[in-house]
Amino acid sequence: MSTNTFLAVYLGSKNGARMEAWNKMPEAERRAKEQQGMAAWGAWVEKHHDVIVEMGGPLGKTKKVDANGGADITNTMTGFTVVRAASHEAAAKLFENHPHFAIFPGEAVEIMPVLPIPGR
């Protein structure tokens, strides 16, 4: 079975309703939820360790560089992971009910194939 590489980008708005509700949680409840989320994320990693190419991690502040120069911007990307799977559908299935949004206030995970560089 041939496998392909996929980039999974974790998305979540710092100002969204899910984050607002998370921030309004009593501190003890939020800490308990964080511990539950980290344990679930660890279990997810253990379950899929054989297909994780790059664990990735959280993302910090964004700088955008274009023809006009550089600037600080905001977006909804919060982290990434690189996985291998037989198909796009199989890669997406790995992230169903992921702790990023099932426990933490993340909103979604977008999964896209990493395509070959043209001409190589």
Mean per-residue pLDDT over the chain, rounded: 95
φ/ψ of 22, rounded to 5, equals -60, -45
The domain segmentation of the chain, as residue ranges, is 4-113
Q: What is the pLDDT of residues 2-52, one digit of tens each?
A: 789 999 999 999 888 999 999 999 999 999 999 999 999 999 999 999 999
> What is the pTM (predicted TM-score) of this model?
0.92
Predicted confidence at residue 100, as pLDDT, reads: 97
Q: What is the pLDDT of residues 101-116, one digit of tens each?
A: 999 999 999 999 999 8
Percent of the chain with pLDDT over 90: 91
DSSP 79-100: EEEEEEESSHHHHHHTTTT-HH
- 4-113: CATH topology: Alpha-Beta Plaits (3.30.70)
Rounded mean pLDDT, 52-68 = 96
Predicted confidence at residue 120, as pLDDT, reads: 79
Q: Characterize 26-60 residue by residue with b for buried, 16 or more Cβ atoms within 10 angstroms of its Cβ, and e for exposed.
A: eeeeeeeeeeebeebeeebeeeeeebbeeebeeee
